[in-house]
Structure 1
Amino acid sequence: MSQLGYRLHQMVNDTHRESSFSTRATRSKILNLAAKQLLKHGYRLKDPAGLKTKHINHLVARWQDEGLAAKTIKNRMAALRWIAEKIGKPNICSRSNDDYGIPRVRNNPIGKSKTLDMDKHAKIKSDLIKFSLRLQQEFGLRKEECMKFSLSYALINANTLQIKGSWAKGGKYRKIPILKESQQQLIRDIAAVTKGALIEPDKNYKSQMEQYDRETIRVGLNKNHGLRHHYARERYLELTGWKCPADGGPHRRELSPTDYEQDTKVREQISQELGHERLKITYAYLGS
């Protein structure tokens, strides 16, 4: 690791330790790559404070020349903007990806929704990983959240779960309603085994994540973000009474003024339940 890479790693994981473990890991990986690529080009920076606009422009041009997907470059730009803000030089990065000629990413939700294949689910050896997968489906939790999930904290009452900020992407605390018998049954099943985090006693979060990945790949249950999409679509149907566009329902532009207003309120609620803030993020889950 270069000296610049080491300092960037420190800023992500020590000096400005924020967001979830997975977010920090991804951010650190991107910034370490950027440091290596700058050094390879001859930029011998020793400290992040030395970053300038020319360095950002070089990285973007390199990534575009490599033919990387727009979504990949967009994610890398988010890491660069984060570090630019932390060193007090936000203007070294343009606020808009359009200024770099990075195409806008169009989210297509079709095909992303999935439900658990319970035959494959039964082949998983760890009860805690089984619970984690069910939490993803029943409450739309992210992978990290469903491992750090601790019933002793999460269960406010019979009708509400709370997700601690330290479990969540962006550190966003939120509440999720408990409405269905399948959700209540899951809570009963977890309570019968543990009220602590869904991490094996001999493991930490990182090693539990590795076991989750191995087990789900082994039985063919990997790529489970679609379980969050399923949760979002089910909630939309429950709250509006009609299917979302991704499931063949009407597009927002086709709704009456009254239904459009309801659609907006429902999308805002679902966005919050998923741990997001913006209505537009629901386009990736529900369609538009």
Structure 2
Amino acid sequence: MGKSPCEVQVDKFFKHTRANSFATRDRYKDDCQQFSRFCSEKFKLQNIRNMNDKHVAAFIKDAQQKGLAPKTIKNKLSSLRYLHDLLDKPRYQLSDNKQLQLQHGIKLAKTPQVNGDRSWTNEEYSRMKEISRDLGNSNVADCMTLARTMGLRVTEAAAISRAQAEYAIRTGVYQVKGESKNGKHRQVPISPEGKAIFERRLVVTDRGNRLFIRTGERTHQVVNQMQKFVEYHRDKVKTVEGTETRLDKRDGSTRELTFHGLRYGYVQDRMREEVDRGFSRDQAALIVSKEVGHERGDVIKIYEG
């Protein structure tokens, strides 16, 4: 039996993406092929651009009935959202996990998180930005700053539009929109460093364009280039202090420096600030969790290592 039209379309989309590691892309593609076969058989879906909440919810319910672990199911949801981001002019938007549960009667169980600190030291952070500037890659330096001082994910930073930057400068609040993980909109206080980057980039960004993405470029391509830059140069900036901080006491391994680790530093700084203002740790965790795109205060424990 040959592949369904949706499976062929998924093959085509994944053929041209370079974001994330090979292993992650392979996992995403495998999950999306399973989803495509499921939708072709159950719904006779012919065009993957027509995927919607109904298809996703049915796929998740089927996975739960098969006894898949909650973590595995959430990983599959991430894969489907990744696919949806790849689609050219999808017909429908996908709801976030909370809305999927409310509207389709599914229950997504909480999953245990991996403990351990992934934050950068200030020296590692400064060194990497210096290398990127010396090599003429200001995208990396600026997006690192936005991740470290505003808690943005790398894709959220790369996708910033001129309109979003102008609004943030005008109001002091940056609005993360559809580029966020799971499509969750949120508001983040603009940092002085972020404001300076926005003002500098606006001078050379035409109306309707994005600050870090030139005409003809795709967001995932720019993100991949920045991630690869960090991967290639991170051994040059590692410090003994940072290596010890990122040590996994369970197996003795050390977590690598990544863009995501910069968010750890942001969360840790913000937690100290809110506690110093008089909030309890739990109150502070709720405030900071919303800033980084989560709904639960207990997620902050992960970022605190």
What band does the TM-score fall into relative to the shorter chain?
A: 0.5 to 0.7
Alignment of 1:131 with 2:131, yes or no, is no
Q: Which of 90, 104, 120 does residue 114 from structure 1 map onto?
A: 120
Q: 1:150-175: CA deviations, max 9, x gaps?
A: 24423434661322422222333322
Partner of 1:208: 222
Residues 136 and 143 in structure 1, CA contact (< 8 A), matched pair in contact too: yes
Q: Which of 252, 261, 282 does residue 300 from structure 2 map onto?
A: 282
Alignment of 1:190 with 2:201, yes or no, is yes
Q: Quick one: structure 1 residues 119 and 78, their matched pair in 2 at CA, closer, same or farther if it must change by over 3 Å?
A: closer
Could you say what secondary structure the match of 1:2 adopts?
Answer: coil
Cα shift at 1:226 = 0.8
Give the TM-score normalised by structure 1.
0.61
Matches within 5 A, 1:50-199: 55-56=62-63, 60=67, 71-72=71-72, 74-76=74-76, 90=104, 95=107, 97=109, 104-108=111-115, 110-115=116-121, 116=125, 117-156=128-167, 157=169, 160-180=172-192, 182-194=193-205, 196-197=209-210, 198-199=212-213
Cα shift at 1:130 = 2.7
- CA–CA distance in structure 1, aligned partners of residues 38 and 114 of structure 2: 31
Q: Which of 47, 53, 71 does residue 44 from structure 2 map onto?
A: 47
Could you say what secondary structure the match of 1:29 adopts?
Answer: helix
Cα shift at 1:6 = 4.1
The one-letter code matched in structure 2 to 1:194 is T
- CA–CA distance in structure 1, aligned partners of residues 231 and 276 of structure 2: 36
Q: Quick one: structure 1 residues 78 and 241, their matched pair in 2 at CA, closer, same or farther if it must change by over 3 Å?
A: same
Q: Can you give the 5+ residue segments of structure 2 that lack an aligned partner in the other structure?
A: 11-18, 46-53, 81-93, 236-256
Residues 155 and 220 in structure 2, CA contact (< 8 A), matched pair in contact too: no
Taking only aligned residues, the RMSD between alpha carbons, in angstroms, comes to 4.6
- CA–CA distance in structure 1, aligned partners of residues 43 and 8 of structure 2: 8
Partner of 2:32: 32
Q: 1:64-114: CA deviations, max 9, x gaps?
A: 7xxxxx74454236779x89x98xx956x6x3659xxxxx41341x32112
Q: Can you give the 5+ residue segments of structure 1 that lack an aligned partner in the other structure?
A: 10-20, 65-69, 99-103, 243-258
- CA–CA distance in structure 2, aligned partners of residues 141 and 202 of structure 1: 24
Q: Quick one: structure 1 residues 126 and 45, their matched pair in 2 at CA, closer, same or farther if it must change by over 3 Å?
A: same
Could you say what secondary structure the match of 1:232 adopts?
Answer: helix
Residues 159 and 179 in structure 1, CA contact (< 8 A), matched pair in contact too: no
Q: Quick one: structure 1 residues 73 and 124, their matched pair in 2 at CA, closer, same or farther if it must change by over 3 Å?
A: farther
Cα shift at 1:52 = 8.3
Q: 1:177-212: CA deviations, max 9, x gaps?
A: 2354x3443334434543641112341223323322
- CA–CA distance in structure 2, aligned partners of residues 60 and 124 of structure 1: 50
Give the TM-score normalised by structure 2.
0.58
Pick the structure with greater CA Rg.
Answer: 1
Q: Percent identity?
A: 19
- CA–CA distance in structure 1, aligned partners of residues 9 and 216 of structure 2: 31
- How many equivalent residue pairs? 236
Q: Quick one: structure 1 residues 282 and 211, their matched pair in 2 at CA, closer, same or farther if it must change by over 3 Å?
A: same
Q: Quick one: structure 1 residues 271 and 27, their matched pair in 2 at CA, closer, same or farther if it must change by over 3 Å?
A: farther
Partner of 2:249: none
Partner of 2:3: 2
- CA–CA distance in structure 1, aligned partners of residues 295 and 61 of structure 2: 33
Could you say what secondary structure the match of 1:111 adopts?
Answer: coil
